[in-house]
């Protein structure tokens, strides 16, 4: 969560002290296992997170989005 800082003029600025991937943040929640599907474990997700760097995950997401949008365009032109 960001910390709010207010300067002398009253302007608010948000400052993040800890940068983390979504899984790292979710992992910190108490009872996180209760929110997962029965067939998914914390160990499975930890392993998946360790197999890719943040950059690799972002590139894979971009590629998946390109493929998805390409399918939309093909459906519209058919």
Per-residue pLDDT tens for 56-74? 988 999 999 999 999 888 8
Can you give the residue ranges of every domain in the chain?
3-77
Per-residue pLDDT tens for 25-54? 889 899 999 989 999 999 999 998 889 888
Give pTM, 2 decimals.
0.52
Cβ 32 vs Cβ 26: under 8 Å: yes
Confidence at residue 59, expressed as pLDDT on a 0 to 100 scale: 93
The contacts found for 57-63 with CB under 8 angstroms, 24 or more apart, are 57/21
Confidence at residue 37, expressed as pLDDT on a 0 to 100 scale: 93
DSSP, collapsed to helix, strand or coil, labels residue 30 as coil
Q: What is the DSSP string of 2-18?
A: PEEEE-TT--EEEE-S-
11 φ, ψ (degrees, to nearest 5) = -80, 130
């Amino acid at each position: 969560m960001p910390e709010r800082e207010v300067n002398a003029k009253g302007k608010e600025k948000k400052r993040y002290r800890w940068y983390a991937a979504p899984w790292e943040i979710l992992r910190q929640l108490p009872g996180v296992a209760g929110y997962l599907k029965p067939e998914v474990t914390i160990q499975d997700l930890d392993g998946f997170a360790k197999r890719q760097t943040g950059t690799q995950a972002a590139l894979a997401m971009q590629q998946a989005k390109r493929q998805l949008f390409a399918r939309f365009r093909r459906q519209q032109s058919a």
